[in-house]
Amino acid sequence: MAPNLNNKKAVLFIIDGLGDLPPTPLQNANLPNFDKLASGGITGLMSTIDRGITPGSDVSHLQIFGYDPHGFYPGRGPLEALGLGIELKEGDIAFRANFATVNPKFEILDRRAGRIDTNSAKSLEKEVNMKIDAIEVLFKSSVEHRGALVLRGKNLSHEISDTDPHGSGSVLNSKSLTKSSSAKKTAEILNKFTKEVYKKLNGNSLNKKRTEQKLPPANIVLLRGAGQFKTVPTIQEKFGISVACVAGGALYKGIAKYVGMNVVAVPGATATKDTNLKAKGQAVLQALKSHDLVFLHVKACDSFGHDGNFEGKKAMLERIDRELLPVLMNSGAYVIITGDHSTPCIRKNHSGHEVPILIYGKGERSDSVQKFDEISCMNGGLGHIKGKDLMNIIIDIIERGKMYGS
Amino acid sequence: MAPNLNNKKAVLFIIDGLGDLPPTPLQNANLPNFDKLASGGITGLMSTIDRGITPGSDVSHLQIFGYDPHGFYPGRGPLEALGLGIELKEGDIAFRANFATVNPKFEILDRRAGRIDTNSAKSLEKEVNMKIDAIEVLFKSSVEHRGALVLRGKNLSHEISDTDPHGSGSVLNSKSLTKSSSAKKTAEILNKFTKEVYKKLNGNSLNKKRTEQKLPPANIVLLRGAGQFKTVPTIQEKFGISVACVAGGALYKGIAKYVGMNVVAVPGATATKDTNLKAKGQAVLQALKSHDLVFLHVKACDSFGHDGNFEGKKAMLERIDRELLPVLMNSGAYVIITGDHSTPCIRKNHSGHEVPILIYGKGERSDSVQKFDEISCMNGGLGHIKGKDLMNIIIDIIERGKMYGS
């Protein structure tokens, strides 16, 4: 990695689910600092993947970081597992996992085991870690009923179906999705796991107590989003710069780890509306001391979009404007602000509409746009860019790009 | 195909040859409804294939419908044949065909057999349908001297040259364009066909009568635009929505059939300047009841462009504004209006200039553009899109897109 001689640094701030449909929260909120950045900088619109394409957050972040998801998307499981701090090895199969409640016929009575509290769930972890045939089963719980599970051993495959029925019904038998012997074997392991983990969890004293208390016992683990982990070239190797991540959500920390960023631990960064933005701002300043680029992520705007909560999304943007932007503006770093996709409140879901983007910093070009929103940025000097362009633009701004040709 | 739960629908209105060079018909025409749609919607410019590329109507429509012509263009023949209602089978070789007049040396005396009337041509169909060796020859006439011809049988190839000299001269011998035995065989069949069809047509009583009346007999069929038919994934399969087609021209109906749209029969839809726009509007409303998307096509603007008829193109646009747009605006569906390519009157031919595009409908983003023309749309909020983007954008607007990633 070439040394940073010019000391130009950047913050890439991704506001999850930022874009919306009119009248949009960005249009309606009082955002003096966003507007100051838009006035002093250059703006535009970005489609993370391509025009009209609705991306998930995993795929869109990978693309923004320069990893074409068509080749580099490992599935959701490995990204969540990495985000929970599980150290994955080449070939591991990882899943999103959650505790649920079933009866002895494996019919689901509660998909979230009554939203079991985080500490109780943590105490059940030991029952889920086990060995089946020669395969290690590693499990880590996160918040409430959620967690990640990893299968480690030889000849495993991610081409198997979920045991989670994604709704009501019974725990599903995992099936091989191909004719490969490794997929067949992996599905068998999973089905043995379902029986084994029920036996262990159902007999656990905490669950017996929950049953006595008329609380749903967390007596099964449902699995979904299988993916096989393999190492990829790091973002440092690809772009020749050092990158840190300041995020609260496990998925985002997982993506950052997957691409080789240094993930900074930030107390109070929760990926919810109550996240400690001031702590995140301080973490960014700290990380800028030893990194060329800091990826900063705030999740709550997307969650408000999914809930159809316009006022919540608007208030969150105003909090970001107040509590986070002054720190970034005074950091001396170039500031790039955008979203990973639109989550229009009226849709309560992601959409393919472009997200606004702004780039602010000393000596860069500026356009005539004065406000940061979906409509104003239509007139921005960046025009319409794609997610795949963004890392190259950032690298160029901080003068760390390599010349193509001579 | 997933059910349409939100009941959002769209009309994709393609005005053939819409784009022009300044002063353009769109700029000069009085188009209050186009301008209302532009003011209330979002606009931009589109290159169907790529910037500066001049597409034919066949290729541009395929690309707009999401079929990359590099892999999915079957040649003009199969599309015309499908449009005339011939049910093609996998492996069929289809041609554009037209009646002409030759002397016994096969020298062409009239390329269009004196623009023989449609009914007379229809009565000659039976002489052209025949069997040569084990190959079936199917022929269907359309308007005046025009028609389509299909070869059906084993081991046929489209890699053969036309028998139509595309001008004056003699009927050409078809030649194999490759060394394959199937191409050699197909060329031989065609050359036998030329001799056979001359014999039959020349002896036909109607042609004898035409000769007596000093009218050119339709005593030969010239063939061009060979292509081999193969089935492709339907637009329903690709995008998960049901699509209907309202068009007058055989080519457009053929493209619609090729990609699996339901082609609606519209009495009075002629693909000429006299086409019944009100009937087409009613057909769109009817089709919207049972489809998610209706493709509406009007041909005459392109024909006026080819004729260099500025006033004609302008008047046609005004007629569309008056007779068709109010129906679309009040249909409750999202309205997308664009062209398949530019046909500048001054060029009397297609060009590679972008075409204006507008998207109008409840809750979508809107820009500040107030007029629908090539120059105003330069400032549109869509920016510059490609034909390949359009279906994804439409699918996203009616909320039928699938998420990429999770």
Q: What would the pLDDT profile of A247-291 be if each residue is shown by its tens digit?
A: 999 999 999 999 999 999 999 999 999 999 999 999 999 999 999
Q: Show residues of chain B in contact with A375, CB under 8 Å.
A: 365-367, 381
Backbone angles phi, psi at A352, to 5 degrees: -90, 10
Sequence length of chain B is: 406
Question: In whole angstroms, how far apart are CA B358 and each of A233, B127, B245?
Answer: 42, 48, 20
Task: At B26, list the tokens.
Answer: 């769109």
Contacts of B284 (CB under 8 A, 6+ apart): B11, B246, B294, B296, B327, B328, B331
B104-143 per-position pLDDT tens digit = 999 999 999 999 999 999 999 999 999 999 999 999 999 9
Interface of B with A in 374-393 (CB under 8 A): 379-381, 383-386, 389-393
What does the alpha-carbon distance between residue A198 and residue A192 come to, in Å, rounded to a whole number? 10
What does the alpha-carbon distance between residue B353 and residue A24 come to, in Å, rounded to a whole number? 34
Is the pLDDT assigned to residue B293 strictly greater than 90? yes
Q: Is B396 left (phi over 0), alpha (psi -120 to 50) or beta?
A: alpha
Note whether A57 contacts B: Cβ–Cβ < 8 A.
Answer: yes
Q: Angle at CA A195, nearest 5°, toward A192 and A196?
A: 80
Average pLDDT of span A388-393: 98
What does the alpha-carbon distance between residue A247 and residue A240 come to, in Å, rounded to a whole number? 22
Minimal C-alpha gap between B325 and chain A (Å): 24
Note whether B403 contacts A: Cβ–Cβ < 8 A.
Answer: yes
Is the Cβ–Cβ distance between A54 and B396 less than 8 Å?
Answer: yes
Element (H, E) at A280: helix A277-290
Interface of B with A in 315-374 (CB under 8 A): 363-367
What does the alpha-carbon distance between residue B3 and residue B400 come to, in Å, rounded to a whole number? 9
For tokens 């009007």, the residue is B298
Nearest to B363 among A50, A51, A346 (CB): A346
Is the pLDDT assigned to residue B2 strictly greater than 60? no
Is the Cβ–Cβ distance between B20 and B26 less than 8 Å?
Answer: yes
Tally of CB atoms within 10 A around A205:
8
Q: What is the secondary structure of A309-326 as a DSSP string?
A: -HHHHHHHHHHHHHHTHH
Q: Show residues of chain B in contact with A22, CB under 8 Å.
A: 363-366
| pLDDT of amino acid A406 | 87
- Closest listed residue to residue A382, CA positions, set A352, A357, A354, A401: A357
What does the alpha-carbon distance between residue B242 and residue B235 come to, in Å, rounded to a whole number? 8
Average pLDDT of span B160-189: 96
Element (H, E) at B305: helix B300-306
Question: In whole angstroms, how far apart are CA A262 and each of A37, A246, A259?
Answer: 27, 9, 9
The one-letter code for the residue type at A275 is T
Is the Cβ–Cβ distance between B263 and B257 less than 8 Å?
Answer: yes
SS3 A76: helix
SS3 A360: strand
Note whether A258 contacts B: Cβ–Cβ < 8 A.
Answer: no
Minimal C-alpha gap between A379 and chain B (Å): 7
CA of A75: which chain B residue's CA is closest? Answer: B405
Mean pLDDT of chain A: 96
What does the alpha-carbon distance between residue B283 and residue B263 come to, in Å, rounded to a whole number? 11
Sequence length of chain A is: 406
Nearest to B404 among A45, A59, A353 (CB): A59
Contacts of B247 (CB under 8 A, 6+ apart): B253, B256, B263, B266, B269, B271, B295, B296, B297, B299
Q: Show residues of chain A in contact with B51, CB under 8 Å.
A: none
Q: Percent of chain B at pLDDT above 70?
A: 99
A70-97 per-position pLDDT tens digit = 999 999 999 999 999 999 999 999 999 9
Minimal C-alpha gap between B37 and chain A (Å): 17
Mean pLDDT of chain B: 96
Q: What is the secondary structure of A30-61 as a DSSP string?
A: --HHHHHHHHHSEEEEEESSSTT--B-HHHHH
Is the pLDDT assigned to residue A6 strictly greater than 90? no
B45-85 per-position pLDDT tens digit = 999 999 999 999 999 999 999 999 999 999 999 999 999 99
- Closest listed residue to residue A160, CA positions, set A72, A231, A93, A86: A93
pTM here is 0.94
What does the alpha-carbon distance between residue A176 and residue A150 come to, in Å, rounded to a whole number? 17
- Beta strands A243-246 and A293-298, pairing class: parallel
| pLDDT of amino acid A1 | 55
Nearest to A52 among B363, B379, B389 (CB): B389
Task: At B398, list the tokens.
Answer: 């009616």
A113-151 per-position pLDDT tens digit = 999 999 999 999 999 999 999 999 999 999 999 999 999
Q: Do A56 and B404 count as a contact with CB atoms less than 8 A apart?
A: yes
Task: At A31, list the tokens.
Answer: 């955002």
Outline where B50-180 has alpha helix (H). 57-64, 69-72, 76-83, 118-128
Nearest to B365 among A54, A76, A374 (CB): A374
Nearest to B365 among A225, A353, A383 (CB): A353
| pLDDT of amino acid B244 | 98
- Strands across the sheet containing A293-298: A262-263, A243-246, A293-298, A10-15, A334-338, A355-360, A42-47, A383-386
Q: How confident is the model at residue A315 (pLDDT cuts 50, 70, 90)?
A: very high
Is the pLDDT assigned to residue B324 strictly greater than 80? yes
Q: Do A22 and B366 count as a contact with CB atoms less than 8 A apart?
A: yes
SS3 A79: helix
Is the Cβ–Cβ distance between B93 and B151 less than 8 Å?
Answer: yes
Backbone angles phi, psi at B258, to 5 degrees: -55, -40
For chain A, how far is it from start to end, CA to CA, in angstroms? Answer: 20
Q: Do A21 and B393 count as a contact with CB atoms less than 8 A apart?
A: no
Q: Do A56 and B403 count as a contact with CB atoms less than 8 A apart?
A: yes
Q: Show residues of chain A in contact with B366, CB under 8 Å.
A: 22, 375
Note whether B125 contacts A: Cβ–Cβ < 8 A.
Answer: no
- Contacts made by residues B185-189, CB under 8 angstroms, sequence distance 24+: B185/B155, B185/B156, B185/B157, B186/B93, B186/B151, B186/B156, B186/B157, B186/B158, B186/B160, B187/B160, B187/B161, B189/B132, B189/B133, B189/B135, B189/B151, B189/B156
Note whether A142 contacts B: Cβ–Cβ < 8 A.
Answer: no
Backbone angles phi, psi at B85, to 5 degrees: 95, 10
| pLDDT of amino acid A167 | 86
Note whether A166 contacts B: Cβ–Cβ < 8 A.
Answer: no
Is the pLDDT assigned to residue B4 strictly greater than 70? no
Task: At B364, list the tokens.
Answer: 């979508």
Alpha-carbon torsion (B116, B119, B123, B127), positive or negative? positive
Element (H, E) at B100: strand B93-102
Is the Cβ–Cβ distance between B283 and B246 less than 8 Å?
Answer: yes
What does the alpha-carbon distance between residue A375 and residue A365 come to, in Å, rounded to a whole number? 20
Q: Show residues of chain B in contact with A49, CB under 8 Å.
A: 404
Q: Show residues of chain A in contact with B399, CB under 8 Å.
A: 347, 351
A196-236 per-position pLDDT tens digit = 999 999 999 999 999 999 999 999 999 999 999 999 999 99
How many inter-chain contacts (A to B, CB under 8 Å) are there?
80
Q: What is the CA radius of gyration of chain A?
A: 22
SS3 A115: coil
> E strands of A103-255, at which residues?
108-110, 130-132, 135-141, 146-152, 220-228, 243-246
The one-letter code for the residue type at A217 is P
For tokens 């019944």, the residue is B276
- Closest listed residue to residue A77, CA positions, set A253, A230, A223: A223
DSSP B264: P
B345-395 per-position pLDDT tens digit = 999 999 999 999 999 999 999 999 999 999 999 999 999 999 999 999 999
Minimal C-alpha gap between B364 and chain A (Å): 6
For tokens 């969650």, the residue is A303
| pLDDT of amino acid B406 | 87
Question: In whole angstroms, how far apart are CA B249 and each of A208, B15, B185, B271, B298?
Answer: 74, 12, 33, 5, 8
Q: Show residues of chain A in contact with B395, CB under 8 Å.
A: 52
CA of B387: which chain A residue's CA is closest? Answer: A51
The one-letter code for the residue type at B400 is R
Calculate helix-pair angle for A250-258, A76-83, nearest 10 degrees.
100
Is the Cβ–Cβ distance between A346 and A23 less than 8 Å?
Answer: no
What does the alpha-carbon distance between residue B249 and residue B262 come to, in Å, rounded to a whole number? 15
Higher pLDDT, A152 or B1: A152
